[in-house]
Structure 1
């Protein structure tokens, strides 16, 4: 359980500056943001911001670290619900995809990181070095391990679990990538429909196929 800092404490002020800075960086971009702007919106002095976080570069890194930590917490909470022993592989994976989209991609923090990476990543790649390692890097590895277990159990036919994990994540949010860059957010119904379609496509590529006698029996059943 996350413990909130006491109101008015040193930690509370530090957190308030981080939250304000996140909003300003997201709205103005890294290049368009300055310390005075953040101090004004946080209701503190410029020196207070410097005392807590140093210069703009250090503050930006602190913001990305903080948000990445929050996103990772929700990612691993959601990964704990991955269907390792599915009753219905398609339905269970689709439900997981919906949870992942809602909890980790289309929430406030996920939207913030995605927007900053898309707008600032090329110009300031060094600012996102930690995010690359601690964010997507950890998520891909953890999801790949779960897909490897499904393959070992005979549900999937895959050779490269890391590639499969990246492809799965790309598929489940492909429909809304452009819309979210423009500030639009999908509805629950759109997320559910898109997730089901993505999982259906994913399983056409990787689901185990019946072989031998089972395949012949299935074909006979279809003809009948």
Structure 2
């Protein structure tokens, strides 16, 4: 007499299982919200057992933190910058427009926006999310901040900009983009046109240049 084989759990570290859980969890958290999301639903959508989720992440809160962290790192991995940008001071405004459009295309992505709204709603209940409400917020692209900081420092060293704190100057530019993008899109719930995105980037670049350009280059 033969008996049916008992299904064997996949190894804990199997990348495919973890990736499936992350995809399912991202979808469920974004569509249902943190409180209504449950591990049974996530497990079903991922095609794994609930125990597999516990093996990989421990509990729902840690799974949620992992989803947020993945959104942050994923945005950076997908971002590549033209190394020729922000080198020629004569092209500074145009280069800032290019970077601004690139940033907003990620920051206003519907899934990124939904995660940002979820972070804002849950940060008071999950202190581990505090780091995601500043330079690491989903979609804020720390890689962009690093690139801007480096280039602003070089331009300042050559006398093309006046920026004693390049990192702060970079954050100012990104903050201008972020605020206007979120306001016009109602925190990612309303699509905005390419023309509106250009308006945001043009205004941000203009304000940045007015604030930081060297007196020697002022007309």
* Superposition CA RMSD, Å: 2.9
How far 1:189 moved relative to its partner? Answer: 2.0
1:48 aligns to 2:52 (yes or no): yes
Aligned equivalents of 1:80, 1:128: Cα separation in 2: 32
- Number of residue equivalences: 203
Q: Which runs of 5 or more structure 2 residues have no equivalent in the other structure?
A: 1-12
Q: Which is further off, 26-35 or 104-113?
A: 104-113
Aligned equivalents of 2:82, 2:69: Cα separation in 1: 20
How far 1:13 moved relative to its partner? Answer: 2.7
Aligned pairs for 1:1-224 within 5 A: 10-75=14-79, 77-78=80-81, 80=83, 82-102=85-105, 104-107=106-109, 110-129=112-131, 138-139=142-143, 140-178=145-183, 179-181=185-187, 183-210=189-216
Q: Which runs of 5 or more structure 1 residues have no equivalent in the other structure?
A: 1-8, 219-224
Aligned equivalents of 2:96, 2:135: Cα separation in 1: 26
How far 1:35 moved relative to its partner? Answer: 0.8
Match of residue 4 from structure 1 = none
Per-residue CA deviations over 1:169-189 (Å, capped at 9, x if unaligned) read 011232221324252232222
TM-score by length of 1: 0.75
Q: Decide whether the 8 Å contact of 1:29 with 1:120 is kept in 2.
A: no
How far 1:133 moved relative to its partner? Answer: 7.1
TM-score by length of 2: 0.77
